Amino acid sequence: MEKWKVRLDTTAFTRDQFPERDIAEFAVAGRSNVGKSSLVNRLLGAKLAHVGATPGKTRSINFYRVETPLGPFMLVDLPGYGYASRSKKERRQWSSLIEAYITSREAPDLILHLADFRHGLTANDRELQDWISGMGLSMLVVFTKGDKISKGARKGALYKYIQSGLKSVDVPIVTSAEKGDGIAELKGFLEGFLSTLSGPGEN
């Protein structure tokens, strides 16, 4: 697999700062602290996104432009949801920014829905899944922090989560941003997905 070339394209705090939607776009969504920015860094092979030990690290929407042998795409790191101890006003601002991102311009081609492999999908995650799928958008569930579960127990845990019902265009990928597990698989999936997208505006 060839290396991807990446750069931070745009940091948006308001809807008028979103870049034009002229290439494929994949967004990374999930609860606060689930490991979105860590996965973005690991996937892109660069320490571009800020990672934090306390939830609520990423407050802006960050657009990373990625060049691959199959064409360019934008990888979008979203702020996390479900962090209860923020003020109500702040939580509203976040969800309205994310809603604006999804609805005010052409929606992303795929949403990577990240969930902590130790917990599976929470009530908040299910709300997100219902909302996204209700709009007819595609999601791939990606489990994070896979290193926290012993290798022998991973298959069983994955099976249990699939059984409990989740919306995903393919079998969820179990990753570890820390150890690198599942990263090549996710890269391969995204390249495959990219190659299925076509039409005016793409590439």
Ligand X SMILES: Nc1nc2c(ncn2[C@@H]2O[C@H](COP(=O)(O)OP(=O)(O)OP(=O)(O)O)[C@@H](O)[C@H]2O)c(=O)[nH]1
CB of 202 to ligand X, least distance (A): 28
Q: Which long-range contacts (CB under 8 A, 24 or more apart) does 153-160 make?
A: 154/117, 157/117, 157/120, 160/120
Contact assessment for residue 56 and residue 64, using Cβ atoms and an 8 Å cutoff = no
Which CB, 53 or 196, lies closer to ligand X? 53
Among Mg ion, ligand X, none, partner that 32 touches (CB below 5 to 8 angstroms by kind) = ligand X
Residues 92-151 within binding reach of ligand X (CB under 6 A): 144-145, 147-148
Among ligand X, Mg ion, none, partner that 121 touches (CB below 5 to 8 angstroms by kind) = none
**Binding residue (CB under 5 A) for Mg ion from 58, 62, 129, 176:** 58
The alpha helices in the chain, defined as continuous H runs, are: 36-44, 88-103, 123-134, 151-163, 183-196
Which CB, 30 or 108, lies closer to ligand X? 30
Applying CB under 6 A, does 34 fall inside the site for ligand X?
yes
CB of 23 to ligand X, least distance (A): 23
Which CB, 58 or 129, lies closer to Mg ion? 58
Which CB, 57 or 105, lies closer to ligand X? 57
Residues 6+ apart with CB under 8 A from 120: 157, 160, 161, 164
Q: Residue with the closest Cβ to ligand X? A: 80
Applying CB under 6 A, does 72 fall inside the site for ligand X?
no
How far is it between the farthest Cα atoms of the chain?
A: 48
Applying CB under 6 A, does 57 fall inside the site for ligand X?
yes
**Binding residue (CB under 5 A) for Mg ion from 24, 27, 33, 37:** 37
Q: Which residues of 164-202 are buried (b: 16+ CB within 10 A; e: fewer)?
A: eebbbeeebbbbbbeeebbbeebbebbbebbeebeeeee
Q: At what angle do helices 36-44 and 183-196 cross, to 10 degrees?
A: 80
Residues that bind Mg ion (CB under 5 A): 36-37, 57-58
Residues that bind ligand X (CB under 6 A): 30, 32-38, 51-53, 55-58, 79-80, 144-145, 147-148, 176-178
